Structure 1
Amino acid sequence: MDRLEAMAMLVSSVELGSLSAAARRMRIPVSTLTRNVNDLEALLGTKLLVRTTRKLTLTDAGNEYVAAAKQILEQVDEQERRAAGEFQTPRGELVVATPVQVARLRVLTVIDQFLAQYPDVRIRLLQSDRNVDLVDAHADVAIRIGRLRDSSLVATRIGALRVVVVASPGVLEKHGGPETPEDLRDFPCAVFDSPYLSPWRFRNPGAEETFTVAVVPRLLVLSPDAAVDAAIDGIGATLVLEHDVAEAVKAGKLQYILQAYEVEPLPVHLVHISRHIMPAKLRHFIDFAVPKLRAELASFGRTPEI
Structure 2
Amino acid sequence: MDRLYLMTVFIAVAEAESFSVAARRLSISPPAVTRAIATLEKRLGVRLLTRTTRFVRATEAGLRYLEDARRIVAEVDEADEAAIGINAVPRGRLMVTAPVLFGRMFVTPVVVDYLRRHPEVTVSALFVDRVVALVEEGLDVGIRIGHLPDSSLQAIRVGQVRSVLCAAPAYLAEHGVPELPEDLAEHVLISSSGSSVDPAWKFMRDGSVVSVKVQPRLIMSTNDSTIEAARSGFGIARLLSYQIASLVASGELRIVLAEHEMAALPIHVIHREGRQSAAKVRGFVDLVVQRLRGDGALR
Cα distance, 1:181 vs structure 2:
2.3
Counterpart Cα distance in 2 of 1:128 and 1:112? 19
Cα distance, 1:88 vs structure 2:
1.5
Report sequence identity in percent.
Answer: 35
Counterpart Cα distance in 1 of 2:58 and 2:291? 44
**Is the Cα contact below 8 Å between 2:14 and 2:57 reproduced in 1?**
no
The residue number in structure 2 matching 1:168 is: 168
Cα distance, 1:97 vs structure 2:
1.6
1:266-277 aligned at under 5 Å gives the runs 266-277=265-276
Counterpart Cα distance in 2 of 1:171 and 1:63? 55
Cα distance, 1:36 vs structure 2:
5.8
Cα distance, 1:236 vs structure 2:
1.0
1:189-208 aligned at under 5 Å gives the runs 189-195=189-195, 201-208=201-208
Counterpart Cα distance in 2 of 1:206 and 1:162? 18
Cα distance, 1:57 vs structure 2:
4.9
Counterpart Cα distance in 2 of 1:158 and 1:291? 8
Aligned length: 293
1:169-184 aligned at under 5 Å gives the runs 169-184=169-184
Counterpart Cα distance in 2 of 1:32 and 1:176? 67
Q: Please, which runs of 5 or more residues in structure 2 have no aligned partner?
A: none
**Is the Cα contact below 8 Å between 2:14 and 2:56 reproduced in 1?**
no
Q: Please, which runs of 5 or more residues in structure 1 have no aligned partner?
A: 302-306
**Is the Cα contact below 8 Å between 2:82 and 2:276 reproduced in 1?**
no
Cα distance, 1:115 vs structure 2:
3.8
Cα deviations by residue, 1:1-20 (Å, 9 ceiling, x for unpaired): 6644543455556667xxxx
The residue number in structure 2 matching 1:265 is: 264
TM-score (norm 1): 0.77
Counterpart Cα distance in 1 of 2:80 and 2:217? 54
Instruction: Give the 3 Å change call, closer, same or farther, for CA 226–55 of structure 1 in structure 2.
Output: same
TM-score (norm 2): 0.78
1:6-25 aligned at under 5 Å gives the runs 6-8=6-8, 10-11=10-11, 21-23=17-19, 25=21
Instruction: Give the 3 Å change call, closer, same or farther, for CA 39–96 of structure 1 in structure 2.
Output: closer
Counterpart Cα distance in 1 of 2:85 and 2:6? 26
**Is the Cα contact below 8 Å between 1:146 and 1:196 reproduced in 2?**
no
Instruction: Give the 3 Å change call, closer, same or farther, for CA 51–23 of structure 1 in structure 2.
Output: closer
**Is the Cα contact below 8 Å between 1:87 and 1:278 reproduced in 2?**
no
> Aligned AA for 2:222?
S
SS of 1:114 mapped into structure 2: helix
